[in-house]
Amino acid sequence: MLAFSVFGATPVDFLTFVIAAAIVLAGAFGVVFSRNPVHSALSLVMTLFGVAVLFVEQHADFLAAVQVIVYAGAIVVLFLFVIMLLGVDREENVDVEPLGPVQRWAGLLIPLVGLFLLLFLAGVRDWATGTPSARGAASGSAAGGAPNVDLLGRSLFTGFLLPFEVTAVLLVIAVVGAVVLARRPPRAEQAEMLAEQRALDEQLAKERDAELVAEHLEGRS
Amino acid sequence: MIAQATSPLGPLVHPNVEYSNLGPILALVVGALVLLTVASLVPGRRGRGFYSILTILAAGVSLGWSAWLWHFIDQKGPRFAFANVVAVDGFAVFFFVVIAIAVVLTALLAEGYLRRERLDGPEFYVLILLSAAGGMLMAAANDLILVFLGLETLTISLFVLAGFHRRRAASGEAAMKYFVMSAFSSAFLLYGIALVYGATGTTNLAGIAQYLSRNLPTSTGVLMAGVVLLIVGFGFKVAAVPFHTWTPDVYQGAPTPTTAFMAGASKAAGFAAFLRVFFSTFGALRLDWRPIIWVLAILSLLVGAVLAVVQRDIKRMLAYSSIAHAGYILIGLQAGNERGISGALFYLLAYTFMIIGSFAIATVVGRKGDRAHSLDDYRGLAARRPLLALTFTVLLLAQAGAPFTSGFFAKFYVIAAAVEAHSYAIALIGMLVAVITAFFYLRVVIFMYSSPEGDEGEVAPRLPVPVSAGIALVATVAFTVVAGVLPGIFVDFARHATLIF
Amino acid sequence: MSLGGEWYLILAAILFTIGAFGLLVRRNILVMFMCVELMLNAVNLSFVTFARMLNDIGGQVVVFFVLVVAAAEVVVGLGIIVAIFRRRAGATADDLHILKG
Amino acid sequence: MGTLDYAWLIPALPLAGFVVLVVAGRKLGEPLAGWLATTAVGASFLTVLVMFAKVVSMPADSRHVVVTMFDWIPVGGLNVHAALLLDPLSITMALFVTGVATLIHLYSIGYMHGDERFSKFFIYLNLFVFSMLVLVLADNFLLSFLGWEGVGACSYFLISFWFTRSSAAVAGKKAFVTNRVGDFGFMIAMFLMFGAVGSLNYIGPAGVLTNAGKIPEVTATAIVLMLFVGAAGKSAQLPLYVWLPDAMEGPTPVSALIHAATMVTAGVYLLCRVSPIIAAASGTATWVIAVIGAVTALFAATIACAQDDIKKVLAYSTISQLGYMVLAVGSGAYVAAIFHMITHAFFKALLFLGAGSVIHGMHDEQDMKRMGALRLWMPITWVTFLVGWLAISGFPPLSGFWSKDEILAGAWSKNPGLWAVGLVTALLTAYYMSRQVFLVFYGEERWRHRAAETSDAHVDDHAEHAEPHESPLVMTLPLIVLAVAAFVGGVINLPLFGRTLFLEHWLEPSLAHVEAATLTSGAKIGLGALATIAGLAGLAIAYVTWYRRRPEENAGLEPLVLRRAWYVDAGLAAFVSGPGRMVANWCAYVLDKRVVDGAVNGLGTLVRNGGAQLRRLQTGYVRNYALGLAAGVVLLLAWTLVRVGL
Amino acid sequence: MNVLSVLPVLAAEGASPKFPLLTSLVAVPLVGALIVGLIPRRQESTLKTVGLLVALATGALSVVVAVQFKTGEAGFQMLSQHVWVKDLGISWKLGVDGISLWLLVLTGVLFPIALVGPAVHRDVKAYVLWMLVLEAACMGVFIALDLLLFFLFFELVLVPMYFLIAGWGYENRVYASIKFFLFTLFGSAFLLVGILALVFLTERATGKLTFDVVQLANAQAVGGATARWLFLAFALAFAVKVPLFPVHTWLPDAHTEAPTAGSVILAGVLLKLGTYGLLRFGLYLFPKAAVDLAPVLLTVGVIGITYGAIVAAMQRDLKRLVAYSSIAHLGFIVVGTFAFTTQGLSGGVLQMINHGISTGALFLLVGWIYERRHTRLIADLNGLQKPAPIFAGVFTLVMLSSLGLPALNGFVGEYLILIGTFITHRWWAVVAATGVILAAFYLLWAYQRVFHGEPSEENADFREMTWRERGVIVPLLVLIVFLGVYPKPVLDRIEPSVNRLISHVEQHSNYTQPGVAAGEGK
């Protein structure tokens, strides 16, 4: 027992939280503000780690592990793969199709307002008003010393059995989807496809021009 | 076994697993897996017609099972299953039926389309089946988590389906837009679930309702924020203004059979969850969410109708009109009474047929490349394909709410519910918007029945109607007319599709 | 003794906000996508926090599902991005806008 | 009673003629169609005579018989029969209507000779007679109204008979529309009567006239005034007289029959018919009637003094004479009104037919200034015309003298001022009629100049037989009969002895008795003498000016204001085509098209523009869409916050 | 011909209560439409013949209804009722009374005439088909005694009419047809909401969900301001259909652009839906509100009379002129309806028939003028009476009927309306009566410009009426004269129902019909 507490927590816990939160936020800002997508992806990893720390801090050990392995290990790598594959690992050219001031400021303002509204609604501290322990303890100590993994696994195979089964369907879809999307068309079709694509592009361009002209005329009339 | 024995948590109690309760869903999933297996076993490009037949078979089994379930529920009453995460009630079965029908129609439609666009393969059908399974899960879900998973199952398949036409740039764009917007809105939905979970301590719908009935929440802030975010998530799914922005682009860009499925099944599933969660679970908060739905409904009606007026692309126009349709169904929800729910259900049933039928026409008229969707492409359709034009006319008039079509009774039903709930203003606005919608439906009719402009010398390109698409069209029109003349049985169906609580 | 749940929740809300902000102001699809991941993480953090506050394992289970969904989404999403941008030679992964009106 | 049951034959015969002619008129061809029509009307006249004889044979008290044919409009309290009322008044009217009509039918056979629409003319004439008979014989107001409107329609057909002339077409329309204004009054009067009495029958237990005494005075006054509006329309009183001069565009027999003898007197007949209601009305009503009658008489007479068209003079004269009759009604001298109506029918029909004969003989020339000395060429016409002239001018012992005298006597007893106006009118009447006679039948043969003028300009087919000629026998025979009638017509109501007031006694049961200050016979004689002197004075002035001098020298007697009929027509036309048309045009093309329809189309445009504006929000950029979604979220959150409470 | 030979059998069977005579009025044209749908497109003459025979058969059935009708009975007759949608309380309930009887006959008479009268230049099959569907819908509207059924037919009428205008109309047909459709739909919006509100409010009061007109009327569950609002909602819908100022502007466009048959039916039958609706539903369901708001409706009606006439006078297009004259005439009917007297209401009902006949005939004639001269502009026409005297004569008769000349049909109705109105609403009647003057003005003026004068070169060889045309128009002329001279058989059947309606109004409001009008004075 330490002699003092900060906001009802031990200094260690508090410090852990502060540092993790800083990492999380820094990573998040990194994602948003990096010109280069690769940097964004790396910043994302940072955030994910920070979140994992916060998971641990809240007795979600298994989830923290999964967070690091699945998120940081698989998902972000997938992102990096795609970035490399497409060759878009360059800085964004902000002059092409600029955002416009409305989007920029509204994009900032609206989420901020939303945040404040949410905080107001929660009254900052009235968050969890629900009935505690409806299903079973989350932490080991409260649940009679069972490890977090046990609790989670038990819950998955009893109360959440069907959702768990449904995730299988999700993964099948992901596989099939990935195959469908990423599959290169047969060679025979490829030339034709390119020609068609070109024709399509041309037609789309033409349509766009016609639309522009029409809009122009409409605007004038 | 050992873990069980040594666990401090006591013995593992397995939930009562009765897969028969989810037969309609399983039929689809099994169908998808069989399809994948068979397709990988049959070499080359043989047996392609087989895919659609298998799909229809699976949907047929699903329908049959639904019928059995309906009977079963009728006899034994509704029940929860799978540790209370699933509600097996008339409401769910109703949506099983609607979605299965959408699958059948889409499969019929896709057959000719995929062949024409040389996109054939089992994947389209597999994804449709899995997506539909997700939709059905949403309808039956009694847990917000399952709602979310069902929704994602439905949606992620649809991303792929939207981008299925590899050679169309628009298809890719549609997929991408749908993907980004959907992910964005899913995040809101999920956050909403989180807040509701925090506020009530459970994600189980019945549990939440119980909680609400026991504790009149002292500080409803978080709960209401959660509810609002749920509205956003569902509103996105059913394309209610202002969460509709993806709809026109995606409907226009996606391959037309996908659009049909999206407009039919996906919207139905979205409404299934919407109705169940709000009518049943948050029924106690009715006074809080009804005004929001009121605004959403009116916005959807107006924006959908007004924007449809200025469209020249049929698919886009139908997209906007489907937004207006969503507005009508929201009127039913807004009424917040029994008639409102059954009205919304009847509307969805009628709407599914109408909208899939309409997109079926667009599929056929779209021709190779899925491109001929301009209003001008419909000019003189009546002269070339009188029956096709007549079919479309019936479907459009039904959408406009012409009497003796299902569309009339659909509108009538929800408006009646609104009037019964004394929401006269919204009833009136709904009817007035029908005037605007009639305008653009009629415009299409006029184009179809006017003679082609100028180019008489040029022989109009042939417009083949695949047999399967023909069957789909006949089915949709038949339903539209039968439900318009003898709405009794369908009204019964909708009325008895009651929620479990 | 850990810090009060509201700290985590407010952090989650801020993270969510940053994610939303990023999605609104970035043009690169991949980055927008990453911002969605930020938002999902924020939600996850909320769930875990609620789980702790309510002493309920359910919240953690949800996070598990969200992870799966996120994975599936990413796979398909990136598949779409690859499918589109592989064809458009020399294009950046910018926002598309052929369909509009 | 058996005889009277056949009364339906009276209107039925002309109707049968009409139907036969409609079906087979063109096959029957020129003379035959005319003879058929004439026969039908003649037979009707004979039927009336039989009925007359029958009614005369009945006791005076029961001389009103209703012959019901069928229920016409039975709804609730309103039960209108198609039924005829035979009483002295209606039989008198029927008698002179059919009588004069027969003669004019006969005359028309000659007059319309050669017209390609010969049979059609008789279709209309027969229909007219039928309508007129329904008007006078009806047993209720509504059936009278049927006839009332029917004669109006026939008048319309006949005025615009030569429809290729646009003036005729316009005149026809004007007559009908003006009459409709009057009909409006008639209708309102009927509504008032129904409201007050609950029936539209003339007599019988629930009849309006039977119960006239029970009608409140205000209502009765309103009824009378509204009926007078109707009468003013039909009988061409101020201000609704404007159609009658234009009606001269019709063939002359039409002018004679409809616009002189019969139809225009319908208004007077109606007023006489409702005399019990007039009796129940306040004095204002009779004063209005009397004053308008007197003013009309004077006003029209002044105009008649300056007209060149032979028929126009007669037309204004008709208006003036109708003014007399209305004055009589207003003065309560109903018998005098009817008396004058009958004598006027004789001499005015005579004058019109004479004028027609002149026109016919002059090959459709109507300008009196281009006539002259026709007595040498058209002796019969000349002689008969002279009779008519003297009769209308009121020289004893011709019929006009007696009837006009009665009226003036009545006016005197009402108010000497009215009498004075009547007297001046009498002077003017004698003046303009003498002017007409002198211009047409005396003086130089001015038509020769015209022949010379026109033959130079273009080859006129009239030019070769430019000589005037006397009309055939079918035309002169009616002239002679009418001349006799005009001469001796006065005998039906000679004020010499009480016994010789045949008409007055005969009509007594039909008319309200008006307690007027009875004039002594001395006063009567004095008034008669004054009137005669006035007539002589008029004649003398005309003699000095128009007989002794050439027409060109009298320009001073024809001020433009009179030639233009006090500019009433011009003013009316200016009003209708000016402000009237402007208002209507504004309604049609500004209010209706721009404002009302503009609002409707504006709504459509609003939707379309709204759509065009809204679609600009659908930019195609996902980030914009996401922004919209986020904004939606924020708005909902904000609303929730407001609802939950800050 | 074999269709016609069946008729006596039908008539005989009609005597037995089993035969669903009223249902057959709807069913026969629909079945006919189906048969037409099965005949190949190219067999135009067969199509026309079948269409005509079906229309004649329907017409004959409507006459059978009139013959079977029990004179003197006020209530609904020949009822047929079947549950349709049980859960919503909707039933297939048909019945006829004195008010609807003659509208049925009118519909039955006008349709064959409209079918054979004008020439059809393209797609005979679809044309005949739509006409028959339209006939079924029109019949349905007049006999439906279930509010929702009525509304369905009321709406259904729009569809075939829309296609007829859009498919076979003149230059500006697309605009006109859409305007027609949307305008009416706009009104219907209020109607449906009104119907539903009434039904649910009644359900709340009586506990019974029903759309049955009779039950709703007898329940009188709503009152006061609610009833007034509902009445206004109904009235607005019907005002659009009538049409009343200021929601009338669809009519001139629709009339002008519609093919001749369309105009005939539009004027003859469709406009009556509005006045019939006001009478049957406005007065019957909301007697108190109708009495309270009668001045409003009367005023609007009177405005329609004068305004329609003034605007008609200024029209350059003959068809438009007739269209505006319809507005004026329909104004009379509305005025009569809200007079609440036996005369006014009977006159209103009768005038519906009269207007149908006269204006239908006028449109037919104008259509024939167009067929000959390919213009409807008054300025292009003149002196037609010279080359075509019979045509002119027929036109004159119809015109006189239209302007209300006594002894022709138009007068009886107008007069009854005016006298009936005068008793209760004096000043409105006085203003309305000026419409009589104005009608004479614009009709005669138009006639003068078109038929009078010396014909110009292109009008000089205007074709005289053909025998076919004479055959088509003669039934209407006979009706014009017959109804003017002997309207008693018609009035005798109208009056009991009208009186019943008035006593219904009296029973549910503080209104009492003046004794004069009711005939108690005697």
Instruction: Please report, rounded to a whole number, the percentage of residues in chain B having pLDDT higher than 90.
Output: 58
Answer whether A22 touches D (CB < 8 Å): no
Q: How confident is the model at residue B7 (pLDDT cuts 50, 70, 90)?
A: low
Q: How far is A214 from chain D (nearest CA, A)?
A: 12
CB within 8 Å: C101 and D623: no
pLDDT digits (tens, 9 = 90+) for A144-176: 556 778 888 888 888 888 999 999 999 999 999
pLDDT in the model for residue B461: 64
Name the band, by pLDDT with cuts 50, 70 and 90, for residue A191.
Answer: low
- State phi, psi for B350 to the nearest 5 degrees: -65, -45
8 Å CB contact between E467 and E391: no
Place of tokens 């076993």: B41
pLDDT of B396-430, one tens digit each? 999 998 989 999 999 999 999 999 999 999 999 99
A129, closest residue in chain B (CA to CA) = B199
pLDDT over 90 for what percent of chain D?
22
Distance from the Cα of D170 to chain E's closest Cα (Å) equals: 7
Strand partners, D86: D65
For chain C, the chains sharing at least 3 beta-carbon pairs closer than 8 angstroms are A, B, D
Across the range E34-55, mean pLDDT stands at 90
Q: Which residues of D touch A110 (CB under 8 A)?
A: 627, 630-631, 634
pLDDT digits (tens, 9 = 90+) for B62-78: 999 999 999 988 888 88
Asked if residue B102 lies in contact with residue B94, where contact means CB atoms within 8 angstroms, the answer is: no
Judged by a CB distance cut-off of 8 A, whether residue D214 touches chain B is no
Write a three-state SS string for E315-360: CCEHHHHHHHHHHHHHHHHHHHHCCCCHHHHHHHHHHHHHHHHHHH
B144 to chain A: closest CA residue: A163
How far apart are the C-alpha atoms of E127 and A179, rounded to whole Å? 54
Closest-CA residue of chain B to A205:
B169
Q: Residue B225 and residue C9: Cα distance in Å, rounded?
A: 14
In this predicted structure, what is the pLDDT of residue C65?
A: 93
Mean of the per-residue pLDDT values for chain D?
86
Above 70 in pLDDT, residue A189?
Answer: no
CB-CB neighbors (< 8 A) of B177 in chain C: 96, 99
pLDDT at res. A92: 62
pLDDT at E394 over 70: yes
Number of Cβ pairs < 8 A linking chain B and chain C? 119
The pLDDT score that the predictor gives to residue A124 is 62
Closest CA to D618 of B67, E392, B249: B249
pLDDT at res. A125: 61
Rounded mean pLDDT of E29-50?
90
Q: What's residue D466's pLDDT?
A: 63
Mean pLDDT score, D63-81: 86
Instruction: Pick from C27, C56, C57, C80 the residue to mutate for testing the A interface (most A CBs within 10 Å).
Output: C57
Determine the pLDDT at residue B235.
Answer: 94
User: Cβ of C71 and A138 within 8 Å?
Assistant: no
Query: pLDDT value at position B46?
Result: 63
Res A146: pLDDT: 64
Task: Say whether residue A32 is in contact with chain D using an 8 A CB cutoff.
Answer: no
Kindly list the residues from chain D whose CB atom is less than 8 angstroms away from the CB atom of residue B176.
622
> How far is E511 from E344, CA to CA, in rounded Å?
15
pLDDT of residue B240: 93
Between CA E453 and CA E450 the distance in angstroms is: 8
Measured between CA atoms, how close is C64 to chain B, in angstroms? 11
Nearest to D528 by CA among D387, D389, D388, D419: D419
A130 and B199: CB-CB below 8 Å?
yes
* C82 in contact with B, Cβ within 8 Å: no
E82 three-class SS: strand
D641 in reach of chain A (CB within 8 A)? yes
Interchain contact, B183 vs C36, CB within 8 Å: yes
Contact at CB, C97 and D623, closer than 8 angstroms? no
- Is the pLDDT reported for residue D83 higher than 60? yes
Say whether pLDDT at B289 is over 70.
yes
- Check residue E85 and report its DSSP letter: E
> How confident is the model over D391-410, as a mean pLDDT?
86
Q: What is the mean pLDDT of residues D297-310?
A: 89
- Condensed to tens digits (0 to 9), the pLDDT of residues B433-448 reads 999 999 999 989 988 8
- Which of E427, E431, E302, E412 is CA-nearest to residue E352? E412
Backbone phi, psi, residue A33, to 5°: -100, -5
Whether A2 has a pLDDT exceeding 60, the answer reads no
pLDDT bin (cut points 50, 70, 90) of residue A212 is low
For the segment D252-280, the average pLDDT, to the nearest whole number, is 88
Q: What is the pLDDT of residue E149?
A: 92
Give the pLDDT score at D644: 78
Residue A84's CB is within 10 A of a number of other CB atoms, namely 12
On the question of pLDDT at B305 being above 70, the answer is yes
Q: How confident is the model at residue D221 (pLDDT cuts 50, 70, 90)?
A: very high
* Interface contact flag, C77 B187, Cβ < 8 Å: no
pLDDT tens string E83-95 = 888 888 889 999 9
Distance from CA of A4 to the nearest CA of C (A): 11
Q: Is the pLDDT of residue D372 over 60?
A: yes
C88 C-beta neighbours (distance < 10 Å), count: 16
Is C33 within 8 Å of C95 (Cβ atoms)? no
What's the whole-number mean pLDDT along residues E300-327?
A: 92
- pLDDT score for B353: 94
Average pLDDT value for residue range A99-127? 82
Kindly state whether C72 is in contact with chain B, defined as any CB-CB distance less than 8 angstroms: yes
Amino acid D508: pLDDT? 80
pLDDT in tens, D155-167: 999 998 988 888 8
Structure tokens at D458: 């273009």
Kindly indicate the confidence band of residue D529, based on its pLDDT and cuts at 50, 70 and 90: confident
When pLDDT is averaged across residues D194-199 and rounded to a whole number, the result is 87
pLDDT higher than 80, residue B460: no
- Which of A86, A173, A192, A211 to mutate: most B Cβ within 10 Å? A173
**Vertex E22 angle, CA E18 and E25, to 5°:** 125
Between A117-131, D276-290, D419-433, E482-496, the lowest mean confidence (pLDDT) is in A117-131
Which pLDDT score, from 0 to 100, does residue A201 have? Answer: 65
How much is the mean pLDDT over chain B?
Answer: 88
> Would you call D455 an interface residue with chain E, using a CB distance cutoff of 8 Å?
no
Residue E2: pLDDT over 50:
no
Q: Are the Cβ atoms of B219 and A129 closer than 8 angstroms?
A: yes
**Angle formed by the axes of helices B338-366 and B386-400, nearest 10°:** 150
CB E352 within 8 A of CB E103: yes
Mean pLDDT calculated for residue range E94-123:
89
Please state the ipTM of this predicted complex: 0.89
**pLDDT for D516:** 55
CA distances from D580 to B244, C42, D590, E308 (A): 57, 78, 15, 15
Indicate whether D440 pLDDT > 80: yes
Select the more confidently predicted residue: D280 or B459.
Answer: D280
The percent of residues in chain E predicted with pLDDT above 70, rounded, is 96
pLDDT (0 to 100) of residue B374: 87
Tokens representing E498 are 């009208």
Q: How many CA atoms lie within 13 A of B188 on its CB side?
A: 33
Give mean pLDDT, residues D39-46: 92
| Mean pLDDT to the nearest integer, E414-431 | 91
Question: Are D614 and B243 in contact (CB < 8 Å)?
Answer: no
Helices (H), E207-249: 213-219, 224-241
Output the average pLDDT for chain E.
Answer: 88
**The pLDDT value given to residue E366:** 92
Within A7-139, where are the H helices?
Answer: 11-33, 37-57, 61-66, 76-86, 101-122
Minimum mean pLDDT range among D51-65, D230-244, E387-401: D51-65
Those chains having 3 or more beta-carbon pairs within 8 angstroms of chain B are: A, C, D, E
pLDDT band at B5 (very low <50, low <70, confident <90, very high): very low
Identify the pLDDT of residue C88: 61
* Mutate: best of A5, A162, A181, partner C, most C CBs <10 A: A181
Beta carbons of E157 and E273 less than 8 angstroms apart: yes
Output the CA torsion D168→D174→D179→D182 (10° steps): -160
